[in-house]
Structure 1
């Protein structure tokens, strides 16, 4: 938990004080805390599938079981490990909220937390197959993960790109941005996600999970033959 907090302090100094991206954002520190902690959960699940199959090939070659259970168990472990950081992030974000009364909408972070991990399970399945068949893709996944982190409005408001319609539309369609906006709105701004946002998040979460399961399953017979 220490590393994310150090990252928050660094980003607050760099983006808040030097680059002035905090302008126009109410409770920038809370905005940043929630962005960093929850975005780390998303990118962490993208990365945890890297080499998962190859690192488990001894078990795969010895026992017969659904290979997807490796990714699912990894996701469940991440879900349990992420409970404490999520709770701490929400408490800290509220603590710098100038003692504003707690809104019921903060409780919506609970279903959003679970949806993040359903979405993340799909990502884990996709990266698990990619790196099982093409190990060198892990470098591309690492690069994408870092780029995704910085392009999802973690340290700044996407509204600054409103005068660039193509870029703005692309960035606001980003599922990570939609998750972060829903969490921040629920916790900090008493602005629960709309029905449309819930439908979008459900579609992204279960759609990614289904795509990941199908993509992973199509190569299941190949995993036992990995060398």
Structure 2
């Protein structure tokens, strides 16, 4: 009797050879991504430069564009909203809302295209695909840097001198970055499987824009009740509030907001990582 032939694939597995395009365990996957973190950084820098290098004003548009949005929203909603619904220091309040919201909405929209817009890389090079959504969030963070400088100047010009509480901006933005990365990871996988979802994201972004207190104070405008609780628990509103209060009045921040922001950041990031990793070996085939 001739010996039973062992399939080559089984021999390869027993020898520890990884399957091409296979999904490694999550811990090893994250370690591989960390080893190649410089790729995400360089990709983000290259995209950030190329997005503005052909414009005459260059990188200045990173700040000019959201500033124009803030001016337009301010002009319109100052006319529409009652004065008792506008908080003190309305100008920096509005600018902070527009700038920080742009960080989240950019991470959502660009994260959704992280895989589908880079299929050439995905199909020809072997690397942890998680680096592509990471690169999109890094790119948005690079754009946020100049905005934060302008935001600080805006608060200082409105009568809020620099003080130690401004350092709370660092943990607030770190938590938001973790949250944004989780959002980008979830959006990246969803849109690669169902491309039509990308058409819905602008409406999702617009919904959050109106629910997050960008141009009005949720506390002054919305009556106590379930709706107000939902709006205050909205993670985008939470992170915008943490940034605003870091600049203006850190003691006014509700005691629950920092733990809530941390919970949103950690849970969303962990869910996003696992959700994205589970489809790692499918991205090149979509």
User: TM-score of the superposition, structure 1-length normalised?
Assistant: 0.91
Output the CA distance in 2 between the equivalents of 1:86 and 1:102.
13
Matches within 5 A, 1:1-227: 1-20=63-82, 23-97=85-159, 100-191=160-251, 193=253, 196-226=256-286
- Per the alignment, in what secondary structure is the counterpart of residue 285 of structure 2? coil
**Higher RCO, 1 or 2 (CA under 8 Å, sep at least 6)?**
1
Offset at 1:51?
Answer: 2.5
Residue segments in structure 1 that go unaligned for 5+ positions in a row:
none
Output the CA distance in 1 between the equivalents of 2:149 and 2:84.
24
Q: 1:192 to 1:23 in 2, by over 3 A?
A: closer
Q: Which deviates more from structure 2 when the two are superposed, residues 191-200 or residues 85-94?
A: 191-200
Q: Which deviates more from structure 2 when the two are superposed, residues 47-56 or residues 15-24?
A: 15-24
Output the CA distance in 1 between the equivalents of 2:268 and 2:277.
14
Q: 1:192 to 1:160 in 2, by over 3 A?
A: closer
User: TM-score of the superposition, structure 2-length normalised?
Assistant: 0.73
Q: 1:22 to 1:183 in 2, by over 3 A?
A: farther
Output the CA distance in 2 between the equivalents of 1:189 and 1:198.
14
Q: Rg: which structure is higher?
A: 2
Q: Which deviates more from structure 2 when the two are superposed, residues 170-179 or residues 193-202?
A: 193-202
- Per the alignment, in what secondary structure is the counterpart of residue 10 of structure 1? helix
Output the CA distance in 2 between the equivalents of 1:63 and 1:190.
47
Residue segments in structure 2 that go unaligned for 5+ positions in a row:
1-62
Offset at 1:48?
Answer: 0.9
Output the CA distance in 1 between the equivalents of 2:245 and 2:76.
24
Please report the RMSD computed on the Cα atoms of aligned residues, expressed in angstroms: 1.8
For this pair of structures, how many residues does the alignment match?
Answer: 224
